[in-house]
Structure 1
């Protein structure tokens, strides 16, 4: 990650530095003892970028509503950057009702149904990638970020989104996930548990990642997920069950026996925490009424 660096030297005892809202800077404090001959320590305090958190993780937000919200926020951020030089980042977290989405690389050959008569709503979008499914029990994260203030590198951004999920699975569920050479997403063995598809407009990101928590995986049979043949789709709940059956890990067994709402809650909390750590952000919680959001999208 590229950081804007600024060094500050002081002969006094350093005070804790409060995070600055629109920069990600590293400050150094140099402390000198007595007659000024001996350096005692160097203290570094990380200042975090501000990120607006729009949290609907317990709600089912129609895809077209979330899509409209993202495009509206992107437009606002582009205007703010033009006028002020920077903007806060934004993270939207939610679930969707059952829906298929197609990326710019999508081919109808990866649909196992008549596109004129789909089993669920279907949307062709401007994100990269192939066809995927969203549905209840899947946590979706839409980061809308100014990459000029992080790193202007799309490969870095994709790998960093993958890193967020890999850390969540390891730290919260003791599930060892990995990347697959040449493919985007997060895998556990032969099962893909998180799909990623993004769009970047003037270095502002939108769309994002979807993590299967306790998702009904049967709708994936209607498509070739992400256009990848010969691979399976998995979920956290399914992986916990497999782990429970194969070992005597009581902690993992307890996680498997969580009700669905608790499993979503634990995963959501971990996603939010790991995302802030990896991208070095602090959150400002933004409250939006779901009915008002839906009404606004219909206009």
Structure 2
């Protein structure tokens, strides 16, 4: 069981929330009508704990352990109460490679006995990927029973969050690529997605390259996809600035320092996530030293 410490509650109200017609979000809510409290079937915003470490570099194994502890807690809450609040964790990792359930070591372009970074084999779906500083990682731990019990819908919705962020904040036109999971700008993949769902509770999630050093991707075949490149928001903005292709006057974002670009992207990510999943956040603080230990986690190779 993870020790959560003191909670500091402060509500974040997104600027705009629109009911998602595909979302299974109708609930019985108590509303006040002409001074009388009545139960009414309406679109209710679900509560979501926001664990914000977006400025921190959190070891992969600690974040992995935290997710699994939260999943266990949510399963227990559902068993006792029939539902649970959702949770969103946002952070950065130190340089690390992770392997999903479909991963093959043939997609590692280095001596497996002398890896450049730690390698973790995980239970998420997908192939090998890289995490590192400058990449914002979102780990949604949500009860799909109260959204939509459809894994394809969930994957496409995570992609939609990133597509909206790139369009609304940076005027970057991103898209999906048929047959693959993730978000692309041209032939460059800017966001990778790998999930695990247990009893309709999600964990793992998505990784968006913001200011990431992309050179470690050269040591792997990212997501097992040959012949494709990996990109970042910073790189795309620089290209737009140099070619003057940004028709919306936002090319100057390419001149922002890395911390500012991370902060802007983080704010856009949590806002778009709240819109798409119809969530209202409250901050929950966890002291970093109180994150659980990584006992029992499989580290297959270490540097």
Using the size of structure 2 for normalisation, the TM-score is 0.85
The Cα RMSD (Å) is 2.2
Instruction: Give the drift of 1:3.
Output: 2.5
**In structure 2, distance between residues paired with 1:224 and 1:57:** 26
Match of 2:187 in 1: 190
Q: 2:254 pairs with 249, 253, 256, which one?
A: 256
Q: Tell me the equivalent position of 2:268.
A: 270
Distance in 2, matches of 1:6 and 1:54, equals: 27
Q: Which runs of 5+ in 1 are unaligned?
A: 28-45
Deviation of 1:247 (Å): 1.5
Verify the 8 A CA contact 1:143 1:208 in the aligned structure 2.
Answer: yes
**SS of residue matched to 1:59:** strand
1:35-46 mapped onto 2 (5 Å cutoff): 46=43
Matched, 1:215 2:225: no
> Any residues of structure 2 matched to 1:2-13 within 5 Å, and which?
2-5=24-27
Secondary structure of the 1:180 match is coil
SS in 1 for 2:249: helix
> In structure 2, what is the Cα distance between the partners aligned to 1:127 and 1:69?
15
Q: Is there any run of 5+ residues in structure 2 with no aligned partner, and where?
A: 1-22, 296-303
2:281 maps to 1:286: no
- Post-superposition Cα deviations, 1:73-113, rounded to whole Å, max 9, x if no partner, equal 00110011001100000000000000000000000110001
**Stretches (4+) displaced over 6 A:** 7-10, 14-17
Q: How many residues align?
A: 272
Please report how far the alpha carbon of residue 197 of structure 1 lies from its aligned counterpart in structure 2 after TM superposition: 0.1
Q: CA deviation at 1:281?
A: 0.3
Tell which has more relative contact order, 1 or 2 (C-alpha 8 A, sep 6+).
Answer: 2
**Partner Cα separation in structure 1 for residue 36 and residue 166 of structure 2:** 36
Secondary structure of the residue aligned to 2:63 is helix
The 5 A counterparts of 1:26-41 are 27=42
Equivalent residue of 1:297, what SS?
coil
Q: Deviations over 1:232-283 (max 9, x none)?
A: 0000000001111221648323200100000000000000100000000001
Give, in whole Å, the separation in 2 of the partners of 1:193 and 1:215.
10
Match of 2:140 in 1: 143
Match of 1:32 in 2: none
